[in-house]
């Protein structure tokens, strides 16, 4: 029996992992990626909450075998350390520059058709097409869409923990090693601060994180690694519910949780079975769409809600201090907060 072809629009983590998962079952897959590989992305590159069996189901577990396994974490309110501890489980520190390229190679090795430099221009999502094109960028600055993200790799940057999180006014900056001597520094800010090579240092200083800005000024920025994004919103993305969407194209979790990549991979796991059923002719596309939407809402709904609430608390001075006080007294454990957003 001939299997029907699945077209995936977008070759980030979600699209590539899904493509690999489908190819392992022999489904013909065409993947359109607007950009090329390798390339740097705005991402903290700290993966947390993904289970080995989920990576196994997608056929990509081995790609994480050599990744760093961050466990120790330190959280700062401005210059003040307010929490230091151990994550309930080790995460992964992995460069997207390397990972996306490795995933793309695996997809092609498995017989997937990868068309780089090709943008999907479809209006509606017809049967057989999955949208994995990442966060929806809005044309104008609308309510709730004023975020600005910046990332760069730094060399010769000493870290005090495997994962440092620096909280400032309307901002957070994560610092985590990703291998080969590079440290990922990624920030989410409420306001943009222009451009240029010192963009990160300026944004960090303006968020009231002068100590971190000085550390960055004394470190070496990896050429080509400075990237920025703006005009995106958190939560379920505009258009969600129409067609099958996966990863950030479906929903974007508050970045401070370090769970977006995991959601992209778990989202790929979740749509695998319905797409297999459709490709084999066992399931109507409309039924697959309904099943995926319901599954995503069940799996991610509460997580998205708590993540946004937690990020709001952490990025606001007074509520952040309350949070530090509560954690310090052990009234709520760090583990409880960690589990709520996974």
Ligand X SMILES: Cc1cc2nc3c(=O)[nH]c(=O)nc-3n(C[C@H](O)[C@H](O)[C@H](O)COP(=O)(O)OP(=O)(O)OC[C@H]3O[C@@H](n4cnc5c(N)ncnc54)[C@H](O)[C@@H]3O)c2cc1C
Binding ligand X (rule: CB under 6 A), the pick from 261, 288, 307, 323 is 261
Residue whose CB is less far from ligand X, 286 or 342? 342
Residue 19 contacts ligand X per CB under 6 A: no
Residue 341 contacts ligand X per CB under 6 A: no
Residue whose CB is less far from ligand X, 261 or 314? 261
C-alpha to C-alpha distance for 282 and 284, rounded to whole angstroms:
7
With CB under 6 A as the contact rule, which of the stretches 32-40, 103-111, 236-244, 315-323 interacts with ligand X? 32-40
Binding ligand X (rule: CB under 6 A), the pick from 12, 70, 168, 243 is 12
Q: Is 29 helix (H, G, I), strand (E, B) or coil?
A: strand
Provide the token pair at 53.
């069996």
C-alpha to C-alpha distance for 1 and 92, rounded to whole angstroms:
40
Task: Find all residues with CB under 8 Å of 160, minimum gap 6, and list them.
Answer: 74
Site string for ligand X, 124-163 (x = CB under 6 A): --------xxx--------------x--------------
Query: Judged by CB under 6 A, how many residues of this single chain contact ligand X?
Result: 38
Task: Find all residues with CB under 8 Å of 108, minimum gap 6, and list them.
Answer: 114
Residue whose CB is less far from ligand X, 44 or 324? 44
Residue 260 contacts ligand X per CB under 6 A: yes
Binding ligand X (rule: CB under 6 A), the pick from 84, 119, 298, 339 is 119
Length of the chain: 342
Asked if 296 and 248 count as a contact pair (C-beta separation under 8 A), the reply is: no
- The helix (run of H) or strand (run of E) holding residue 325 is helix 317-328
Residue 266 contacts ligand X per CB under 6 A: no
Beta partners for residue 152, in sequence order: 185
Residue 178 contacts ligand X per CB under 6 A: no
Binding ligand X (rule: CB under 6 A), the pick from 20, 22, 47, 204 is 47
- The per-residue b/e assignment along 67-88, b for 16 or more CB within 10 angstroms, e otherwise, is bbebeebbbbbbeeebeebebe
Residue 190 contacts ligand X per CB under 6 A: no
Cα-Cα-Cα-Cα torsion 311, 317, 322, 324, nearest 10 degrees, comes to 70
Cα-Cα-Cα-Cα torsion 29, 245, 303, 212, nearest 10 degrees, comes to 80
Pair type for strands 46-47 and 6-9: unpaired
Residue whose CB is less far from ligand X, 93 or 274? 93
Binding ligand X (rule: CB under 6 A), the pick from 21, 168, 258, 324 is 258
Query: Nearest Cα to 216, choosing from 267, 174, 259?
Result: 174
Query: Nearest Cα to 75, choosing from 175, 202, 170, 186?
Result: 175
The CB-nearest residue to ligand X is: 12
CB of 265 to ligand X, least distance (A): 9
CB of 121 to ligand X, least distance (A): 7
Residue ranges binding ligand X (CB under 6 A): 9-15, 32-35, 41-47, 119-120, 132-134, 149, 174, 186, 188, 229, 247-249, 255, 258-262, 264
């Amino acid at each position: 029996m001939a299997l029907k072809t699945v077209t995936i629009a977008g070759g980030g983590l979600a699209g590539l992992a899904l493509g690999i998962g489908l190819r392992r079952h022999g489904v013909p897959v065409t993947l359109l990626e607007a950009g090329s590989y390798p390339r740097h992305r705005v991402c903290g590159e700290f993966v947390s909450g993904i289970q080995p069996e989920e990576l196994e189901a997608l056929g990509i577990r081995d790609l994480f075998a050599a990744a760093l396994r961050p466990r120790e974490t330190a959280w700062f309110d401005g210059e003040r350390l307010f929490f230091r501890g151990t994550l309930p489980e080790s995460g992964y520190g992995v460069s997207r520059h390397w990972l996306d390229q490795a995933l793309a190679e695996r997809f092609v090795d498995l017989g997937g058709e990868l068309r780089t430099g090709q943008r999907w221009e479809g209006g509606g999502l017809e049967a057989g097409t999955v949208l994995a094109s990442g966060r929806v960028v809005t044309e104008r600055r609308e309510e709730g869409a004023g975020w600005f993200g910046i990332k760069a790799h730094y060399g010769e940057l000493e870290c005090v923990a495997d994962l440092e999180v620096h909280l400032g006014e309307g901002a957070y900056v994560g610092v985590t090693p990703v291998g080969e001597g590079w440290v990922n520094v990624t920030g989410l800010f409420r306001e943009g601060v222009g451009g240029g090579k010192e963009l990160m240092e300026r944004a960090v200083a303006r968020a009231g994180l002068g100590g971190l800005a000085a550390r960055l000024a004394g470190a070496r920025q990896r050429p080509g690694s400075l990237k920025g994004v703006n005009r995106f919103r958190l939560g379920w993305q505009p258009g969600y519910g129409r067609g099958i969407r996966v990863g950030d194209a479906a929903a974007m979790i508050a970045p401070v949780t370090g769970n977006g990549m995991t959601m992209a991979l778990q989202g790929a796991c979740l749509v695998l079975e319905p797409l297999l059923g459709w490709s084999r002719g066992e399931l109507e596309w409309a039924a697959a769409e309904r099943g995926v939407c319901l599954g995503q809402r069940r799996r991610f709904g509460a997580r998205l809600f708590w993540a946004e609430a937690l990020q709001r608390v952490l990025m606001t001075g007074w509520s952040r201090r309350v949070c530090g006080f509560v954690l310090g007294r052990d009234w709520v454990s760090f583990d409880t907060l960690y589990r709520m957003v996974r």
